[in-house]
Homo-oligomer: A and B are copies of this chain.
């Protein structure tokens, strides 16, 4: 059993509207020392696999088939033995 955390974020150059909204609000709230905001999402899940390389293969397939939009998003993940 492996615990996997998948992080998905926009490819560089892709418009990130949530980030634009946060930057505008940061300025309104006086957080002038914060910049370069990027947003993303993550998934935490468990995978039953024989070994870590099988778990990595399953996680890759999951990211490509279900969790990400490969046109505009990149992903990375970390795997820990649970």
Contacts and interface: CB of A to CB of B under 8 A. Distances in A.
A6 B40 CA distance: 10
Contact of A33 (B26, B58, B66): B58
Q: How large is the interface on A (under 10, 10 to 19, 20 to 34, 35 or more residues)?
A: 20 to 34
Interface in A23-49: 25-26, 29, 31, 33-49
A62 interface: yes
Nearest to A41: B41
Contact of A38 (B40, B44, B58): B44
Contacts of A43: 22, 37-40
A75 B75 CA distance: 21
A6 B33 CA distance: 16
